[in-house]
Amino acid sequence: MLVNSQNYRTVWMQDSSVCMINQQLLPHKFEIYKSKNHVDTANAIKTMIVRGAPAIGATGAFGIAQAALEFKGNNFEDFKNNIEIASNILKSTRPTANDLFYAIDFVKGKILKNFNVENARKDAVKSASEYADWNAELCRQIGEHGNKLIKNSQNILTHCNAGALACVDFGTALSPIRIAHYNKKNIFVYVDETRPRNQGASLTAWELAQEKISHAIIADNAAGHFMRKGKIDFAIVGADRIAMNGDVANKIGTYEKAVLARENSIPFYVAAPLSTFDIKCGSGDEIPIEERSEDELLYIHGIDEDKKIKKIRIAPIESSAKNPAFDVTPAKYITGIITEKGVIKPTREHIEIFMKNSN
Ligand code: MRU
């Protein structure tokens, strides 16, 4: 992704450190956070220094590589136990995104098949980097497929940040938008602010501004208004986990946007790599939904006139809050799921055939 006209990835490994764009500070400050060990990497996922399903997947993969490098000794059983402990620490950070579990198991599978500590250590960084490269390429392919659905002069709605910052590069929902823009399509993006953490206002808007893609931030509760006024032609979001019946878990507020899109006859697409599908999940009801701190609703963060980042309380001191981070959109509201292999109809039958054919 372009940052001040320079190319960056969201997360990468340098020696034994995991480097990531610090998303807690954007759009106010562009800083790279360097995590020195796998526990610190887990903490960066938990505190959302890095966030977004594929990005936390790649970070988890690098965390396993760090755990392999941190192990001193050459007893394979001890090494395996250490990797298992690290895997549990990294997996316990956030419950909803399937990619976190998929990526960690990918690297574990590669290194533990060695039955030799030295070889496993050598393979660890290589496997995690391969995973990250692969994810960047899948997102590029999602962009190519999605671009075919976007017409010139369309106004596009997106929710949360499913951009390069949420992945290793390109993004999922923002990838087709990026490719459409590179293909000189004249598009305009309506960016839901995405309360309570404002990933739309602070991250999606920042990415679009970096790429000079025309956009406006709208209040979350304004999307229906713009749809009814005929201002939105196309809606596209990412996904954290997709059940085998096509139900999609994504950032809280996605469900209501999908229902509104149906009411207003607007195509509503989900963009996600196939690693987002959870073959063990029959329907959206089985997807674990993360509950986050009520402080995310009771306070807001921003920058003051002296350029200091501040946390300000907006609710009565007596009030509490409920803060589910994701919701589930039933498959019936989704026009199609754009994957690296093409667009899938969100029905159990299609998903099963598609997954079988793409193995
Ligand atoms: O809580 P976040 O910011 O990690 O949530 C991110 C989202 O909901 C994204 O839309 C989703 O991970 C898809 S990202 C390509």
Q: Where are the alpha helices (DSSP H) in the chain?
A: 38-46, 53-70, 76-91, 98-112, 117-147, 174-182, 199, 205-210, 223-228, 254-263, 295-298, 348-357
Q: Report the nearest-CA residue for atom 8 of ligand 1.
A: 251
pLDDT at 230: 98
Give the residue carrying structure tokens 């990026």: 178
Q: Tell me, in angstroms, the distance from the centre of ligand 1 to residue 237's CA.
A: 9
The SS3 of residue 338 is strand
- Asked whether residue 101 falls in the same domain as residue 229, the answer is no
First-residue to last-residue Cα distance in the chain: 29
Confidence at 197, pLDDT banded by 50, 70, 90: very high
For residue 270, list its beta bridge partners. Answer: 237, 337
- Asked whether residue 275 falls in the same domain as residue 178, the answer is yes
| Lining residues, ligand 1, CB within 6 Å | 51-54, 97, 160, 162, 166-167, 172, 199, 238-240, 250-251, 325
Confidence at 141, pLDDT banded by 50, 70, 90: very high
- Asked whether residue 123 falls in the same domain as residue 192, the answer is no
pTM score, two decimals?
0.96
Domain final residue, candidates 108, 140, 172: 140
Confidence at 27, pLDDT banded by 50, 70, 90: very high
CA distance linking residue 19 with residue 291, whole number of Å: 27
Q: Tell me, in angstroms, the distance from the centre of ligand 1 to residue 251's CA.
A: 6
Give the residue carrying structure tokens 């923002």: 174
Between 98-112 and 76-91, two packed helices, what is the crossing angle to 10 degrees? Answer: 170
Query: Is the link from the previous residue into 196 a cis peptide, with omega within 30 of 0?
Result: yes
Confidence at 205, pLDDT banded by 50, 70, 90: very high
Domain final residue, candidates 94, 123, 140: 140
Q: Tell me, in angstroms, the distance from the centre of ligand 1 to residue 71's CA.
A: 32
Determine contact, residues 105/90, Cβ cutoff 8 Å: no
Confidence at 5, pLDDT banded by 50, 70, 90: confident
- Asked whether residue 135 falls in the same domain as residue 201, the answer is no
Confidence at 343, pLDDT banded by 50, 70, 90: very high
- Asked whether residue 60 falls in the same domain as residue 192, the answer is no
263-302 per-position pLDDT tens digit? 999 999 999 999 999 999 999 999 999 999 999 999 999 9
- Asked whether residue 101 falls in the same domain as residue 181, the answer is no
Ligand 1 atom at minimum distance from 56 CA: 4
Return the CATH number at 346: 3.40.50.10470
Nearest 10 degrees: CA dihedral of 43, 44, 46, 50?
-170
Q: Tell me, in angstroms, the distance from the centre of ligand 1 to residue 54's CA.
A: 8
102-131 per-position pLDDT tens digit? 999 999 999 999 889 999 999 999 999 999
Query: Best mutation site among 49, 96, 160, 191 for ligand 1, i.e. most ligand atoms within 8 A of its Cβ?
Result: 160
220 is a catalytic site residue: no
The DSSP call for residue 276 is: G
Q: Report the nearest-CA residue for atom 4 of ligand 1.
A: 52
- Asked whether residue 322 falls in the same domain as residue 339, the answer is yes
Confidence at 187, pLDDT banded by 50, 70, 90: very high
Confidence at 142, pLDDT banded by 50, 70, 90: very high
4-17 mean pLDDT:
95
CA distance linking residue 262 with residue 277, whole number of Å: 23
CA distance linking residue 76 with residue 74, whole number of Å: 6
Give the residue carrying structure tokens 């496993």: 120
- Asked whether residue 235 falls in the same domain as residue 274, the answer is yes
Ligand 1 atom at minimum distance from 199 CA: 3
The active-site residue out of 240, 247, 278, 327 is 240
CA distance linking residue 256 with residue 270, whole number of Å: 14
Domain that holds residue 221: 145-358
- Asked whether residue 49 falls in the same domain as residue 171, the answer is no
Task: Say how many domains are in the chain.
Answer: 2
Return the CATH number at 102: 1.20.120.420
Q: Tell me, in angstroms, the distance from the centre of ligand 1 to residue 325's CA.
A: 9
28-34 mean pLDDT:
96
Q: Report the nearest-CA residue for atom 2 of ligand 1.
A: 52
CA distance linking residue 249 with residue 256, whole number of Å: 12
Ligand 1 atom at minimum distance from 272 CA: 15
Domain final residue, candidates 140, 163, 180: 140
pLDDT at 316: 98
- Asked whether residue 194 falls in the same domain as residue 298, the answer is yes
CA distance linking residue 68 with residue 60, whole number of Å: 13
Determine contact, residues 210/177, Cβ cutoff 8 Å: no
Environment class of 249 (CB within 10 Å of its CB; exposed 0-12, middle 13-18, buried 19+): buried
Q: Report the nearest-CA residue for atom 14 of ligand 1.
A: 162
pLDDT of 84 above 80? yes
Ligand 1 atom at minimum distance from 251 CA: 8
More confident of the two residues 160 and 359 = 160
Q: Report the nearest-CA residue for atom 15 of ligand 1.
A: 162
34-38 mean pLDDT:
98
- Asked whether residue 107 falls in the same domain as residue 153, the answer is no
- Asked whether residue 150 falls in the same domain as residue 48, the answer is no
Q: Tell me, in angstroms, the distance from the centre of ligand 1 to residue 272's CA.
A: 11
225-266 per-position pLDDT tens digit? 999 999 999 999 999 999 999 999 999 999 999 999 999 999
Query: Best mutation site among 23, 56, 250, 296 for ligand 1, i.e. most ligand atoms within 8 A of its Cβ?
Result: 250
Q: Tell me, in angstroms, the distance from the centre of ligand 1 to residue 139's CA.
A: 14
